[in-house]
Structure 1
Amino acid sequence: MSTALVTGATAGIGLSFAHALAERGHDVVLVARDRARLENVSDELRAKYAVGTEILVADLSDRAETGKVAERLADLARPVDLLVNNAGYSLKGSFLRHDIAQEEANFDVLCRAVLVLSHAAGNAMRTRGHGAIVNVSSVASFITAGTYSANKAYVTVFTEGLAAELRGTGVTATALCPGFTHTEFHERAQVDMSSIPEFMWLDADRLVRDCLDDVAKGRVVSVPSPQYKAIVGALRVVPRSLVRRRASSVHRPGK
């Protein structure tokens, strides 16, 4: 039986990954900050799918705690066959209005943790000759909307480069780039999303299933749903000056 490790596994897309992988028969290593929520998810997965579970309490903005997760991924005696780097959150408001410590912590979770954990998993998987890494990015990685977009752009491009480096080793890397998804993500960021039409919202369980299908096909960038595939296709060819102009209208002084 194979093992998957999922960060940010107690809510949203991470929780959907945990359920989808357990349903497919994977043992799961669950990583998040909240021990009580981890234990609840662990108990539920064991009862529902009869799989093995393990919990790792870790705040990925903390380098030492990120290192503990990396050590687990690097353990050749307890191989992890699939890594899902999902943990993340967004900061409300504009970059220059934030305390820089907030931005650094956000960067550590969204980017540094992906770097460190992909390095640990990639080396261990390459040694064994098989495995897969999924880095949860965003459609926002193709636009210019503050540091969240910048951080997610890093994740997308980093994953593309990692996939190229791993070609021919039996290990794959996939960047998942969803759009607006029904989770607690925006509520936690205290962002009002009431103006977004319903047809633009994705179901977390469905996008996870589609992503895992793309992983099986070796796809490097997974964009769920026809509407977001069309949007990303357009953003790849639209002049960047137009993309920046749209961003500047959103981030006018006072917003």
Structure 2
Amino acid sequence: MTDETLELDGATLSYEVQEGAGPTVVQLHGLSSSRASEAEAGYFDWSPIAEAGRRLVRYDARGHGRSTGRAEPSDYAWPKLAEDLLALLEVVSPDEPVDAVGVSMSVGTLLHAVTLRPERFRRLVLVIPPTAWGTRAGQGDTYRQLADLVELQGVDGLVRAMSAFGTLPLLEEGGWTRAPLPDIAPAILPAVFRGAAATDFPAPDAVATIRQPVLITQWVGDPGHPMSTSERLHDLLPESTLEVLSTPDALRALGDRAAGFLR
């Protein structure tokens, strides 16, 4: 495995490449997460993709993990993150389309990237799509409140507030009760939240133009990742399959399921 960096406007992306026979699979994490915090949390395991012989590229979104960023909210809107992804693809797979796995925030990144450059993608796995369209405004209010909280009380205040929400029943049942801290520098964390608050999926008619095979996986009991988003995406995407992760074993098997779908 190699660790690399890519210089972009206002950010340096940190990414890793696990070499395989290909074609390339790019995996993207969720808001406030990173490669390291996904590993710490433990409920997403993408190693089966590499074990299936695929060339697996994983990266930290700008401002997250080992990638750098600046305190500019517009840098963290999903269209901007999509530009970052497309720039990375020009480096890691310039001549061939890739498969992609996006979690939560990165579902938005992928949808914007695919509608902009559909020829760069072969198959998609959309994991726990977040609030979008009609449900996005309320979530945006929450993110703006969290940004204000960080500025007033620091990351400790944010951790206290987030702990009040409790653990998702599915994760608690599976023994994943330790939530990792946001893997974002405190100085830019409010900007990241405000950028997330001000962004949304592409318009539904644009999403409906996506013709790639898509696997949508949805867990249960999480208002930040409502079933309504996944059902709407399933309705819009003509080549989509929707699967519900209702047990810890189903979540543990997600990496294998994604690897099989991307064959």
Which bin holds the TM-score, normalised by the shorter protein? 0.3 to 0.5
* TM-score (normalised: structure 1): 0.42
Report the structure, 1 or 2, having the larger helix content.
1
Higher strand share: 2
